[in-house]
Amino acid sequence: MIFLGKRQRIAWLVPFALLVLVSFDMNREIDSALAAAGIYIDDSFNDISQVDAARTTAEVDTANGWVTLSRLNMANSLLLYPGSQYLTLINGDAAETYRPAGGRMAKDPAYSVSGGLTSPVSIAGHIPAEYLVLERGGREAAYYQHDGTGMMKNGVLGVSQLNDPLALAAGDGYDFWLADGSEVRSYVFDGRGFVLNGYLGVSLEVEGASAVSISDGSSGPVGDYGFSVVDRLNKRVLSYVWNGSVMGKCDALSIETGLTSPRSVSRDGALLVVADGDWVKAFTYDGTSLLPNPFLSVRMPAAPLAVAVKPGGFEYAVLYEGESGGPAVSHYAFDGLEMREVPERRITGLAAIPYDNCQRLVGKGAAAGRAVTGLMLVAETDLPPGTEIVWEVTVDGATWKETVNNGPAVRFDVAGTKPNYRAVLKTSDPAVAPKIFGVRLMDASLAVEGMRVVNIVGPEIAGNPPLPTSLPVKIWAGYDVAFQVETTGHAELVSAVIHGAGVTAIIVSCEPLWPVDSDANTWQGAFHAPVDAPRGTVLQMDVTAVKGTVRVSASYPGFAEIYASALENHLIHLTH
């Protein structure tokens, strides 16, 4: 290449440039071909290019090509206590506290809630005798305390009527952080109960379910009050601190690059630990920023689901899917060189993590490039007993209408140009989940087309092929002409206007051939070509279909020509 002249070098690049252009054009043709066929979305979930990731809470498995309910987010389901070897975790519908006993971790019933919790996902506290449990199913954060015999729910303390509770983290004292939808809020104990601290709330400016994990940062090195949160959608960990007037993002304690699939965060002082991919990654604050700390990081045998740092020590517990298939918890401690698992503190035999419920799949939508008034959705699904998928479609992104998979088309009174779909995946059995293998969103707009002349008097006029004849048709002034049009989109009324130079407009009200309760229909009308229409007059037909307030028209300019007068078609002769 270095021996080639400038022109030769450019010439050498031309074939590659053409190849790129051709590839680009081919993709565009495929898209336009689908659009022309009235298919706005055709997604088999091999990638997320057609999924609105910011609004989708269901799990899109691009490796297998399906969408299903994700397991409950357990990112904050482990709790280690300062100065203690107790560990509390969420196990099924229970909150169980374990302590070392006889070379293994044994459950301590006195500090456990044995069951009855409604989809618990998160736990926070400072001592085994007092902790908060976030019950996603009940949409509340319930306070449990030891009453001398066991853990009892405190009916006064707690926060209920949450919107989309995701994660919970305890603050320094009687306060906690709560990720609820796209917001992180602070609650403090005012002597009677937990009240919202309006000053410390943060809107994450991302859709819900991104904040899958939260960790208190009050004892951190920057600021005097704050928290860290995982933004799973954008693959980052953000830290917020109180700057004296508002809660603001702290770049020094945030990790915005280098994470592949962060799920859980736990923070203690200058140490911040993130469950990311197959790793538990540790970061330490060096006074200016967070730096990866390989000595405190561990590669797990399976993707970690939750991590909890023990306050005041280089130890953390990790929840992951164990080799036997069920969840397990391993405890890691720094031995002076690296993090090593403490085998006698491993906990196995935990209940399978149940599926979450009511998760959304939202399409990215399509630019139709034309007015859409009806849509039809066809999806390939797997619906085990107890599961359900509720589908909705829209044409403008604002008005959503429920539809049925492979059911009748959905009609909209106002046309739009942004067709899209969304689904809510539901299950009444936490052990099973519905699956969506593919979605196809098709056009079913009100349309009128296919006008054809089906009957003319004197069809033998020169130039007319056999009926139904193609256009333009040569007709006689004075004779009737019958025509048919096809409509889709459940047209309620169809009319036609025939006009031409020197011809008074003729309005024809068409009649349906079949009841108008069907989506597609054929309509028939007839008009009388004015007997005084001059020879050679070219006629145009404008057909209009109406459905509610939606009207669509199709024009057929020059569909017919007055060939002669019907009177000229007769011979009067004397017979006597």
Partner 1 sequence: MLLLILMPFFWLLWSLTLDGANARYTAARVKMSLNRAVKGAVAAVNTDALAAGVVEIDEAGARAAFDRLLKDNLGLRSDFSPAPDSPLLAVPEVLVFYICRGPDFPCVFQTVMGIRHSFHDPGVLAVIRARCRRGFISSQGQEIYAYSAAEIKRWLNADGW
Per CB under 8 A, residues contacting partner 1 are 457-458, 460-462, 478-480, 528-529, 531, 564, 566-567, 569-576
Q: Which is nearer to partner 1, 332 or 476 (CB)?
A: 476
102: its two tokens: 């006889």
Q: Give me the least distance between CB of 457 and partner 1, in Å please.
A: 4
Q: Give me the least distance between CB of 500 and partner 1, in Å please.
A: 17
Taking the CA atoms of the chain, what radius of gyration do you get in angstroms?
Answer: 35
Q: Which is nearer to partner 1, 145 or 455 (CB)?
A: 455
Rounded alpha-carbon distances, angstroms, from residue 506 to 179, 231, 327, 528: 67, 65, 77, 8
Question: Cβ(439)–Cβ(421) under 8 Å?
Answer: yes
Bridge partners, residue 392, by sequence: 402, 422
Q: Which residues lie closer than 8 Å to 382 by C-beta, 6 or more apart?
A: 434, 435, 437
Q: Give me the least distance between CB of 467 and partner 1, in Å please.
A: 13
DSSP notation for 245-263: SSEEE-GGG-B-SS-SSEE
Q: Which is nearer to partner 1, 317 or 456 (CB)?
A: 456
Q: Which is nearer to partner 1, 319 or 539 (CB)?
A: 539
Which letter, b or e, does each residue of 65-89 get, where b requires 16 or more Cβ atoms within 10 Å of its Cβ?
bbbbbbbbbbbbbbbbbeeebbbbb
Amino acid (1-letter code) at residue 122 = S
34: its two tokens: 């689908």
Q: Give me the least distance between CB of 527 and partner 1, in Å please.
A: 10
Q: Which is nearer to partner 1, 523 or 563 (CB)?
A: 563
DSSP notation for 215-238: EE-TTSSSSSSEEEEEETTTTEEE
Q: Which is nearer to partner 1, 449 or 568 (CB)?
A: 568
Q: Which is nearer to partner 1, 89 or 529 (CB)?
A: 529
Closest CA to 305 of 331, 270, 276: 276
Q: Which is nearer to partner 1, 370 or 528 (CB)?
A: 528
Q: Give me the least distance between CB of 567 and partner 1, in Å please.
A: 8
Q: Give me the least distance between CB of 525 and partner 1, in Å please.
A: 14
How far apart (Å, rounded) are the C-alpha atoms in residues 436 and 279? Answer: 30
Q: Give me the least distance between CB of 565 and partner 1, in Å please.
A: 10
Q: Give me the least distance between CB of 557 and partner 1, in Å please.
A: 24
141: its two tokens: 């954060």
Question: Cβ(365)–Cβ(397) under 8 Å?
Answer: yes
Helices (H), 2-134: 6-36
Q: Which is nearer to partner 1, 213 or 469 (CB)?
A: 469
Q: Which is nearer to partner 1, 156 or 572 (CB)?
A: 572
Q: Which is nearer to partner 1, 326 or 536 (CB)?
A: 536
Question: Cβ(113)–Cβ(131) under 8 Å?
Answer: no
Q: Give me the least distance between CB of 476 and partner 1, in Å please.
A: 9
Residue 468: cis peptide before it, omega within 30 degrees of 0: yes
Phi, psi of 518 (to 5 degrees): -95, 155
Phi, psi of 31 (to 5 degrees): -60, -45
Q: Give me the least distance between CB of 568 and partner 1, in Å please.
A: 8
Q: Which is nearer to partner 1, 36 or 531 (CB)?
A: 531
Give the sheet arrangement for strand 140-146, strand by strand.
120-127, 130-135, 140-146, 151-159
CB atoms within 10 A of CB 118: 13
Phi, psi of 324 (to 5 degrees): -80, 0
Q: Give me the least distance between CB of 503 and partner 1, in Å please.
A: 15
Question: Cβ(204)–Cβ(211) under 8 Å?
Answer: yes
How far apart (Å, rounded) are the C-alpha atoms in residues 58 and 54? Answer: 11
